[in-house]
């Protein structure tokens, strides 16, 4: 069937992509990406769905050299008649562009592959670690974060060219974006297409004299971006704060997200032991532990909290007490934790007991000491005085090893004598022993 020739050139497909009929393949592809992002349902749910379908259908024609040639000569009707039944989606394609509905579509539904939704592409996410003090997490604060990102050049709007200039076909690959390269595998030599290095596979280049003076043809420039990070009271260590689409911008690609990762610095006094509770260690002397005390603690917001303990409840070393509702307050959960105090009881120095009658006074007011009751027939060694013991690392292990070596030297012929140091290894290590803390 002869193909009718259009009297007036049809430019509807070019108009949908907002390019001129003499646009290059690269310009058409770039225009499609821009329009697709603008009307993509994921990015702009308020945009008409048919608009995105029309854009996709227009690009489906213009990206194909054969279809584009027919369309440029004969228009939509000529392309429809010329392709006839050769293309499974040709009828649906033009029904879509012209707003009609084919009998094939009404009978069989939407043809396979028609108007597919192309997922949006994004640049990589960026994670910035923001170190903050415990005071900041307790009180809340707004901090400024500055980083360097890439953005589309505002001078050339991402074209890479000076105003009024255009890209030209790459002579190295004749605008194809690929060149034939020679590969060898053993004795065999064969040709295979490889990406053109001159144009990076785009098929087009920018003449040096036509490059944008700001981005030098790179289409992107760097800028310092500032973000105001709002840290709410009670934010946890490791909290992520998301800034949508604030990362690098690339032509035809959506900007990725920026995440601010909160990292809490170690505090010299307070320790955050969970999301809401605070722990502080307090030294008190023996008098305070037995007779009570009053102390003040300067909290993370600068105020002073009065801590009072009655004299009728002695405080044992390493015991814990809590002050309710003096921990972290979360603005997200509206929950306030407790302030937990771990006590370190300091005993008097040795010279304290050198004062006259101090021992007798203590014995008279403290609970009585247990009386040593030993049967008369029990033989006791002479009384031994104790001295301070300063534990050396691996002392038991070294002693056991030495005993083992000494035994081997003295009893080379006796295989039955040995020193078993397994018990010593279990009882004596460099790691601190773990004890369950009492309920506070």
What are the pLDDT digits (tens) for 127-175? 999 999 999 999 999 999 999 999 999 999 999 999 999 999 999 988 8
Residue 54: is its pLDDT beyond 50?
yes
pLDDT tops 90 at residue 217: yes
Query: Of 146, 307, 140, nearest to 234 (Cα)?
Result: 140
Model confidence pLDDT, tens digit, residues 283-301 = 999 999 999 999 999 999 9
For residue 42, the model assigns a pLDDT of 63
Are 276 and 335 spatial neighbours (Cβ–Cβ below 8 Å)?
A: yes
Helices (H) and strands (E) in the chain, counts: 11, 15
Q: Which residues contact 97 (CB under 8 A, 6 or more apart)?
A: 12, 13, 54, 57, 58, 76
* pLDDT tens, residue by residue, 15-26: 989 999 888 888
The encoded tokens of residue 132 equal 């903050």
**pLDDT tier, 81 (very low <50, low <70, confident <90, very high otherwise):** low
Phi-psi group of 302: left, alpha or beta (phi > 0 → left; psi -120 to 50 → alpha; rest → beta): left
pTM for this entry:
0.58
- Rounded distance between C-alpha atoms, residue 73 and residue 58, angstroms: 16
Residue 58, pLDDT score: 87
- Comparing 389 with 108, the larger pLDDT belongs to 389
Residue 298 confidence (pLDDT): 97
pLDDT classification of 416: cutoffs 50, 70, 90: very low
Domains, in order of start, for the chain? 12-108 (1.10.287.110), 126-167+206-264 (2.60.260.20), 270-352 (2.60.260.20), 396-440 (no CATH)
Closest CA to 147 of 129, 135, 164: 129
| Secondary-structure breakdown of the chain: helix, strand, coil percentages, each rounded to the nearest 5 | 30, 25, 50
pLDDT number for residue 429: 37
Give the span between the Cα atoms of 176 and 334, in whole angstroms: 62
Q: Is the pLDDT of residue 408 over 70?
A: no
**90-98 vs 49-62: helix crossing angle, rounded to 10:** 130
Tokens of 105: 């579509």
């Amino acid at each position: 069937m002869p193909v009718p020739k259009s009297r007036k050139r049809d430019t509807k497909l070019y108009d949908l992509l907002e390019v001129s009929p003499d646009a290059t393949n690269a310009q058409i592809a770039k225009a499609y990406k821009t329009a697709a992002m603008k009307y993509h349902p994921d990015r702009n749910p308020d945009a008409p769905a048919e608009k995105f379908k029309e854009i996709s259908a227009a690009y489906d024609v213009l990206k194909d050299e054969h279809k584009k040639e027919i369309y440029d000569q004969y228009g939509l009707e000529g392309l429809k008649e010329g392709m006839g039944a050769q293309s499974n989606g040709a009828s649906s394609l033009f029904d879509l562009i012209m707003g009609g509905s084919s009998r094939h579509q009404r009978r069989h539904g939407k043809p396979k592959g028609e108007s597919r939704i192309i997922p949006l592409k994004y640049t990589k996410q960026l994670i910035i670690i923001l170190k903050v003090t415990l005071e900041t997490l307790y009180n809340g604060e707004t901090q400024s974060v500055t980083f360097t990102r890439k953005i589309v050049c505002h001078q050339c709007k991402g074209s890479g060219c000076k105003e009024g200039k255009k890209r030209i076909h790459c002579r190295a690959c004749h605008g194809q974006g690929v060149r034939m390269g020679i590969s060898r595998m053993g004795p065999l030599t064969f040709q295979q297409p490889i990406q053109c290095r001159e144009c990076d596979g785009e098929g087009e280049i920018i003449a040096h004299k036509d490059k944008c003076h700001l981005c030098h043809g790179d289409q992107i420039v760097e800028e310092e971006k500032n973000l105001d990070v709002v840290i709410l009271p009670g934010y946890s260590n490791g909290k992520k704060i998301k800034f949508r689409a604030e990362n690098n911008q690339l032509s035809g690609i959506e900007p990725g997200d920026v995440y601010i990762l909160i990292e809490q610095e170690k505090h010299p006094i307070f320790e955050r032991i969970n999301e809401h509770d605070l722990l502080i260690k307090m030294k008190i002397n023996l008098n305070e532990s037995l007779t009570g005390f009053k102390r003040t603690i300067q909290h993370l917001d600068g105020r002073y909290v009065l801590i009072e303990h009655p004299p009728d409840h002695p405080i044992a070393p390493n015991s814990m007490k809590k002050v309710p509702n003096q921990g972290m307050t979360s603005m997200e959960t509206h929950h306030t934790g407790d302030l937990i105090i771990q006590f370190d009881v300091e005993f008097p120095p040795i010279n304290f007991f050198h004062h006259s009658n101090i021992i007798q006074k203590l014995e008279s007011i403290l609970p009585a000491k247990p009386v040593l009751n030993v049967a008369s027939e029990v033989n006791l060694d002479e009384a031994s005085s104790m001295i301070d013991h300063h534990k050396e690392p691996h002392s038991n292990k070294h002693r056991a090893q030495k005993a083992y070596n000494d035994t081997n030297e003295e009893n080379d012929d006796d295989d039955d004598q040995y020193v078993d140091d397994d018990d010593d290894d279990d009882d004596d290590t460099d790691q601190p022993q773990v004890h369950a803390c009492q309920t506070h």
